Structure 1
Amino acid sequence: MPASDYYQGDETREKRPTVLKGIFFLFILILVVAGLLYGALQLRSAEGPKVAFAAPEPLTVSVMPVRLASEFRIDESFTGLAEARRKSQLGFSSGGRIEAISADVGDRVKAGETLARLDTRSLTAQLASARAMVEEARAGHALALNTVERQRTLKLQGHVSQQHVDEAEAQANTSLARIDAAKAQADTLRVQIDLARITAPFDGVVTARMADEGAISAPGQPLLELVETGHLEARIGLPAVSAARLVPGNFYSLVADTGTVDAKLRTVTGVIDPDQRTVAAMFDIENPGILAVGAVVRLSMEREIDEPGFWVPVKAMSTASRGLWMVYVAAPYNGGWRAEPRPVEMVHSEGDRGFVRGPVQEGDRVIVDGLQRLAPNMPVIPRESPRADTPTDG
């Protein structure tokens, strides 16, 4: 046989699968599947898969009973400043050289006390001249009166006419007018000399000094600032609804950093400030000695809000959707208790408590701590809170 036919027959036999190879492959496959099944059976427990049937242990939580109210009270605080009723910037009405300033910043002065003086030597000389003119006018008037008497005597004797008598009387009246004019000039100079010194218009303390001796003061230029200390008033801005509850003439307690002071309400302006949107109330402070001018004072007032609900600690609430909050109530369930979530709406918050309303009944036990460990409908053991976290007022 040719060599080509021989090689072609070998290739044909190698490519054709044999029955022995198929049986061997099937046997190996059965062994692998059996091994896998045996391993799976070995891993399973003899008692079957473990399934938890016992309920979790109840969690002990602190609770507080709900006390529903038809309204609640809140404390409002309004701030103002204690100010002096009078505050003046003092200066001279006429200009001149400052001769003396006898007050300095911080000095307490009495009403009428001289605080500063101008150089008045020129005015004093003018006053002396005016006084001399008064005396001169008086002398001329006396001479004119004597002349009138003589002219009247001569008239009776027929030596002069009535014309001479009238002229003498007119001269006497003119000299009298000169006396009045000279007196008025002297009085004007006296007033200028008096205004050449600054006196305290009221009891107070000097808070500013803007000039010294020797300086030339212009008319009306402020030299000293005086603040009244004997009478203080407080100006406090309040909303119109709160200001309407104040009664003029009544006494109120104002709180400052130095303590509490009594103040009498003098008036309420009744006009809303366009910037602050508040109404100003003016108080006269009864004991101003313990307050400094410019001190901050606070007025506290109670206000009733006609809203139903109940107080809970802020720590008893958690956030919910749509702007609501959530509290957990320990509710009876199958002879025990479980934590039921209840949505509530915040009406007012005040420090560490809040006034809320929602589907909660009188006497329900609200869980007040441990919210991070709670889940809805979780079994719990309620325990009354040892301290009152919320007030019991309506």
Structure 2
Amino acid sequence: MVISLQEGLKVDRRYPAIIRAEQTAELGFEVAGRVSMVAVEIGDQVRKGAVIARLQADRLRAASNEARAQVAEAKALLDQYEAELARQTQLRSRDATSGRAVDDAHANVLTGRARLKSAQASLDLAAADLRDTVLRAPFSGLVIERQASVGDLAQAQTPIVTMIESGSLEARASLPVDVARALRPGSSVNLFVDDLVFSGRVKSVLPTVSDAAQSATIIVSIPQNASISEGKAAEIAIEQSVSGEGIWVPVTALVSDLKGLFAIQVVEEREAGWVVRRVPVEVLYSSSDRAYVSGSFKGQAEVIAGGSHRVLPGQVVETKRVAGRSVEPTP
């Protein structure tokens, strides 16, 4: 193939990604207790607010009733204190009681109000604990794990089931830091899943960087109608610019050079005929079948597309064209 220099290029580089639900929740009770009912199985679709599971609530119901009785008692006592304060205040206006008695009655009212407030707080806490014996779905979605059965003793905040939100998926990928930070929320990217291609948009670029890999995570939103399963492997294509003057060559044209670098071999027309010359190159970009390389190239040279291992630099060869403009040496 005849050398044809170009100044840089734009390429789509693919990075591995994983499909995740936008919302995943491990649902558990806020209080400990024995599980009396689990209403879902793995694979069930549930609506927001639907009952997922229940705990035995006898003791908590009794505690709530006791707290309610304490509130009633505190209210009755406060009513007595307030009535006594009113009576002592009236007597004081007629100079029929001491100021000390009025002060004592006022102090009793303050104490009664504090006791009622404390009793009400205890009732609110008991009512909340009682409500927490019923576990409900925080959003509409799919049950993907069930970690408890009827009769199990559930600890507070221990997962009972795991849910993912229905219909809302996103892709997460780790990119080199400079590539990730060049993206902006709203940027369009292509997402490859098996043989399908979807158009997604960059939702966010997480500010944290992995020290080991020097990579940053991007999150790409996926169209609602995309037929993709959660947990699926994917690839995200990011358009990037490759700077530097270079040429495209088949990967079969690359040969090993000194210190683990690469070179290509070219044939140049001289008086003696076509002469092989080795050109060290830097691979700026490569795909499965070709590479974009830079090096010290001259005008009328042609790249040896295959069979480079059969000839040495300085050797005079005959050539034959293959695949259009590629050449192979014939020593």
Query: What's the TM-score bracket when you normalise by the shorter of the two chains?
Result: 0.7 to 0.9
Give the aligned partner of residue 57 of structure 1: none
Q: Which runs of 5+ in 1 are unaligned?
A: 1-63, 390-394
- Cα 1:321–1:111 change in 2 (3 A) is closer
Q: Which has the larger radius of gyration?
A: 1
**What SS does the aligned partner of 1:71 have?**
strand
For 1:72 and 1:324, the matched residues in 2 are separated by 21
Pick closer, same or farther for the CA change 1:339–1:115 going to 2, 3 Å: same
The equivalent of 2:138 in structure 1 is 201
Q: Please give the TM-score of this superposition, normalised by the length of structure 2.
A: 0.77
Q: Who is 1:105 aligned against? A: 42
User: 1:269-318: CA deviations, max 9, x gaps?
Assistant: 45542222323223333437522222222222344434434334355x48
Amino acid aligned to 1:247: R
Quick one: distance in 2 between partners of 1:70 and 1:181? 78
Q: Does 1:139 align with 2:103?
A: no
How many angstroms apart in 2 are the aligned matches of 1:343 and 1:359?
A: 10
1:347 aligns to 2:286 (yes or no):
no
How far apart, in 2, do the equivalents of 1:293 and 1:112 lie?
A: 23
Partner of 1:361: 299
Partner of 1:300: 237
How far apart, in 1, do the equivalents of 2:182 and 2:95 lie? 92
The alignment yields a C-alpha RMSD, in angstroms, of: 3.8
Q: In the alignment, what sits opposite 2:329?
A: none
Displacement of 1:193 in angstroms is 0.2
Return closer, same or farther for 1:345/1:73 CA change in 2, 3 Å cut-off.
farther
More helix as a share of residues? 1
Report whether the alignment pairs 1:242 with 2:179: yes
- Among 176, 183, 194, the alignment partner of 1:257 is 194
Counterpart amino acid of residue 101 in structure 1: V
Percent identity, aligned pairs only, is: 26
Deviation digits for residues 223-252 of structure 1 (CA, Å, limit 9, x no counterpart): 222233444333222223433432233222
Q: Which of 17, 20, 24 is the matching residue for 1:80?
A: 17
**2-side partners of 1:366 and 1:107: how far apart?**
61
- SS of the residue 2:182 aligns to: coil
Q: Residue by residue, what CA displacement relative to the aligned partner does 1:74-109 show, whole Å, maximum 9, x if unpaired? A: 442111222234333222222211111112212222
1:326 equivalent in structure 2: 265
**How do 1:32-43 residues align onto structure 2 when only pairs under 5 Å count?**
none
Structure 2: any 5+ residue segments left out of the alignment? 327-331
Matched AA of 2:56: D
AA matched with 1:326: Q
Distance 1:310 1:161, change over 3 A: closer
Structure 2 residue aligned with 1:227: 164
Distance 1:140 1:270 in 2: 58
Task: Mark the CA change 1:154 to 1:328 in structure 2 (over 3 Å): closer, same or farther.
Answer: closer
Whole-angstrom CA distance in 1 between matches of 2:134 and 2:180: 45
2:61 matched to which residue of 1? Answer: 124
- Shift in CA distance, 258/122, structure 1 to aligned 2, threshold 3 Å: farther
Q: Matched residues in 1 for 2:110 and 2:233: separation?
A: 68
Decide whether aligned partners of structure 1 residues 169 and 365 sit closer, same or farther in structure 2, where only a CA change above 3 A counts: closer
TM-score of the pair, normalised by structure 1: 0.66
| Equivalent position of 1:278 in the other structure | 215
**Count of residue correspondences:** 319
Q: 2:62 & 2:88 partners in 1: Cα distance?
A: 39
**Residues 344 and 73 of structure 1: CA distance in aligned 2, closer, same or farther (over 3 Å):** farther
SS at structure 2 position matched to 1:103 = coil
